[in-house]
Amino acid sequence: MKVFALPDLGEGLADAELVRWLVAVGDTVTVDQPIAEVETAKSVVEVPSPYAGVVAVCHGEEGETILVGSPLLEVREDADADVAAAAPAAAPAAETVEAPEPEPEPVAAGSGAVLVGYGTTDHATARRRGRTTQRAAGVTAGAPSRIVPVVSPVVRALAHTHGIDLASLTPSGVGGVVTRRDVEAALAAAKATAPSAPAVPAAPAAPPAPTAAQREPGADPRTGLDIASVIPFSRLRRTVAETMTRSRSEIPEATVWVDVDATELWEARKALGRSGKPPSMLAFVSRFALSALARHPELGGRVTSDGDGIEVFSGVNLGFAADTPRGLLVPVIRRADRASIRELDAELGRLSAAARDGVLPPADLTGSTFTVNNYGSLGVDGSAAIINHPEVAILGIGRVIERPWVVDGAVVVRRIVQLSLVFDHRVTDGGVAARFLREIADAIESPIAFLAVEAPGTVNA
């Protein structure tokens, strides 16, 4: 019998919600066949099976939350099925005997599954088998330990729950990896050294506060209004709330903004449209921003974990806000600094469509270093955007509309767009932020001049 545990989906999350089973007990599955849909905080993905055989057990009900590393599916391989069929009918006592741990399969017998952060070939198989063995073996003396070469999300969640700093632990795992046993040992030591409190009469325990899903509608004592319904946050909404709260609590942000005459760029796009579909305004502005980031790389960096410096990257992974039926998502164009305007436009379209359809893999939703937010597509001019933690800046783009504008002393109708830049004041000051934003504005106002000096490989408009 092969036990398949919910894999690490590559997002640093400790669990996922089981949306839908794609197989049932008794079904025959093949290697890499999708067996279930699971929803993380960022996407809905199909989980492929690393084993072929007959489904013996499906762990979890639809709608249930399953921890990473917990059993998801048990598959009886053909050889197991033949043995089970040939076994004598009498031996009921065997049901009460715990089955021994199955022998590990050869590392090379992988499937090459394409789920991000998980695979069944070579190293990925060894990683998953190591995690399963570590969890099953526990602290059995003398047992050979297979340690996952990363800190497991389950270990991180356990440490976070009990307030244990992983950096303070002495790792016992191979390659200096902190294991679950390290966290449990630290927890036991903390309990042993905690001073005993003087005996006091036990106070009745206060009942836990009900969750949103548990609260019943009724009269609100503060407003006097009846509560019509209580809607629990979705998994995505909870994650967005946590990220935004962390951004606002950790980042001393400041904002600069400017109104920009985009008439020349607007007309240039119309001219390009005569020979085919022109690149979007977002593609042009993104290219202008990427050019400015090459001169101000700190705005595409990240504050170090100790808060004493900034990590500057050798390229830019460009995130962009996308409004989808599931809520706000931030797809990522990797190494966008290498892309031309038309290549950016193609990626923006592809990723936006995949995000709306709910088929974007987790890898395309992580790892951004700078984000653009085109809230103008929603029909608004400005927004106080929140920085996408742990980034240090976000560029906002309003709608491009006709407004009265003074040109050479005369009031004329021009196409105007408002840009805003929200930045981490720890990283830089207003002067740098203003120059960065002004460079983007100048490129919008004079796109021909920008294209004339920009590297040929990055324009291709």
Give the side-chain half-sphere CA count within 13 A for 227: 12
**Contact (Cβ atoms closer than 8 angstroms) between residue 341 and residue 459:** yes
442 is catalytic: no
**Contact (Cβ atoms closer than 8 angstroms) between residue 364 and residue 354:** yes
Planar angle of CA 421, 458, 291, nearest 5 degrees: 25
- The CA-based diameter of the chain, rounded to the nearest angstrom, is 101
In 368-435, beta strands by DSSP E: 370-373, 393-397, 401-407, 410-424
Planar angle of CA 213, 218, 224, nearest 5 degrees: 130
* Catalytic, out of 220, 308, 425, 442: 425
**Contact (Cβ atoms closer than 8 angstroms) between residue 444 and residue 438:** no
* Catalytic, out of 32, 308, 429, 442: 429
Beta-ladder partners of 74: 3, 57
Peptide bond into 198 cis (omega under 30): no
Sequence-ordered list of residues with C-beta below 8 angstroms from that of 364, at least 6 positions apart, any chain: 331, 332, 351, 354
429 is catalytic: yes
Active site residue ranges: 425, 429
